[in-house]
Amino acid sequence: MTTGPHLVFNQIKYSVTGEYHYEAWNGMKTGRSESINVNVRYKPKSTSVSVSPSGEIVEGGSVTLTCSSDANPPVDKYTWYKKNGASLTGSEKTYNFTTIISEDRGEYYCGAENKYGDLNSSSVSVDVQC
């Protein structure tokens, strides 16, 4: 037999992560329980790519692509892709073109992965001006 307060999550979601405690009142005074921590783990979500600089990209300049994703535990592996091409060399959060050339023009996206799964971003366009 179980007595006392209960908190039941019928469908656990990442948004329930946090500290919980309960307060009880016996008609004369209020008591508070010790806090417990609920830490919901989940695969990457909201994966996206940003380009820097964000304006015009001129041949010969440097360009950085950055992959962002929300995950718990944090992303431990990134994969970079050029649309209609093979995966790129690199497994870091950023992909750098130190000297970009016109052949680098195209659509790029990233994949973010942790031990619970992975998610690819939508693509961003890199248009190199000669």
pLDDT tens profile 47-102: 999 999 887 888 898 999 999 999 999 999 999 999 987 677 778 899 999 999 98
Cis geometry, peptide bond prior to residue 74 (ω within 30 degrees of 0):
no
Determine the pLDDT at residue 70: 95
CA atoms of 119 and 23, how far apart (whole Å)? 40
pLDDT of the residue at 4 = 61
Q: Indicate the pLDDT class of residue 44, thresholds 50, 70 and 90.
A: very high
Which pLDDT value is given to residue 129? 82
Per-residue burial over 76-91, b = 16 or more CB atoms within 10 Å of its CB, e = otherwise: eebbbbbeeeeeeeee
User: What's the mean pLDDT when you consider all of the chain?
Assistant: 86
Q: What is the mean pLDDT of residues 117-126?
A: 94
Structural domains in the chain, CATH included, are: 42-129 (2.60.40.10)
For residues 21 and 5, the answer to whether their CB atoms sit within 8 Å is no
